[in-house]
Structure 1
Amino acid sequence: MELLERVTQYLQHHELKLITAESCTAGLMVSELARVPGSGQSIDSGLAVYSPEAKNRYLSVSFDTIDTFGLTSEETAREMARGSLDNSDANVSVANTGIAGPKPQDDIPVGTVCFAWAFRHDQKTYLATETRRFPGERNEVRLAAAHYALENIPVLHRQMLEGNLPIDR
């Protein structure tokens, strides 16, 4: 709970409004954050988008990106983060897509999760991506991925404020 409280306080202190675009974690990021009283003022919305069609329909993820790089890719996560930010009043977006289990898919091991964090600041968008592999069973992977994504919001936001996060557009 300490992690969730720290993230909520950070979001509130910096007047950040969060949207999530979750495939692997299926809404768990928002659900976990909502455990903290008062966190709702920092949450715009959370989208659980599993299928390629949902990623395209709600987040404008290109089918070409999915076909070229796969559902579990930083490129797909990047478009998920961009799309959710573009379609909301949020100024921070966190997206993930991956393989929680029980079996590997397309030679991608269980526990592989691709993340993207996007920040809107001074009429620019800043974006970071990362791929991680988490140990454990399906729900352990999902929870670890959700917490990892949330705990990196303050880290990456500070990097952006210091000029150490790339401008996406």
Structure 2
Amino acid sequence: MDIPRQAVSFLNSRGLMLATAESCTGGFIASLVSSVPGSGSCLDVGFVTYSPTGKAGFLGVRKDTMQQHGLTSEAVAREMSEGALRQEACCAQIAVSNTGVADAVPDGPPSGTQCFAWSYRARDGTIVTFTETKRFEGERNEIRREAALYALSRIEHYFDQQQAQRAKEKR
């Protein structure tokens, strides 16, 4: 199964554009998308915000969110993906974000812990976001690769979820 190709095919078939907001994956999600022919019509922008100041300054992640929940948290992942969609020049309707640890950190989450968010912007500007935490095994770069592939693999799933959620709200 070629996950990046499937993600690009899904995005292109619906005329959607993607933004990425990456920490632990360090641009790997955007790199996987851009490796697929035809990805130029569906990849809008990618942010790599490794540091807390980068997350706050470029994506609007609140310092109190980082302090209260930690950098490896669904709350931070949520603010990263929503922050990417809120950037003035961002044309994407979908953003995916990742923050986590690939190595053991003293007094931190276990190695391989990855937090994700998938945000979807509707025509009226409202944003619906889904988050997950997952743990991957392996060496540092294996964890980063698996996390990037996982992030891409869930785009269509959560797109369908948000479509169902919006349909339910209209009733």
Q: TM-score normalised by the shorter chain: which range applies?
A: over 0.9
RMSD: 1.7
Match in the other structure for 2:42: 42
**Cα shift at 1:105:** 4.2
Counterpart Cα distance in 2 of 1:18 and 1:81: 11
Offset from partner CA, 1:125-169 (integer Å, 9 cap, x none): 1100000000001000000000000010011101111227999xx
Counterpart Cα distance in 2 of 1:5 and 1:67: 37
Counterpart Cα distance in 1 of 2:97 and 2:168: 17
User: Which runs of structure 1 show a deviation greater than 3 angstroms over 4 or more consecutive aligned residues?
Assistant: 164-167
Letter in 2 for 1:117: W
Counterpart Cα distance in 1 of 2:132 and 2:3: 20
Kept in 2: contact 1:128–1:166 (CA 8 A): no
Alignment counterpart, residue 157 of structure 1, candidates 153, 156, 159 = 159
Kept in 2: contact 1:126–1:165 (CA 8 A): no
Closer, same or farther: CA 105–76 of 1 in aligned 2, 3 Å: farther
Kept in 2: contact 1:21–1:96 (CA 8 A): yes
Kept in 2: contact 1:120–1:126 (CA 8 A): yes
1:71-150 equivalence runs, <5 A: 71-87=71-87, 88-101=90-103, 103-123=104-124, 124-150=126-152
Match in the other structure for 2:5: 5
Letter in 2 for 1:161: Q
Aligned length in residues: 166
Q: Partner of 2:61: helix, strand, or coil?
A: coil
Closer, same or farther: CA 6–164 of 1 in aligned 2, 3 Å: same
**Unmatched runs of 5 consecutive residues or more in structure 2:** none
Counterpart Cα distance in 2 of 1:85 and 1:139: 27
**Cα shift at 1:122:** 3.1
* TM-score with structure 2 setting the length: 0.92
Counterpart Cα distance in 2 of 1:49 and 1:166: 35
**Cα shift at 1:15:** 1.2
**Cα shift at 1:107:** 2.9
Match in the other structure for 2:24: 24
Letter in 1 for 2:129: L
Closer, same or farther: CA 134–165 of 1 in aligned 2, 3 Å: farther
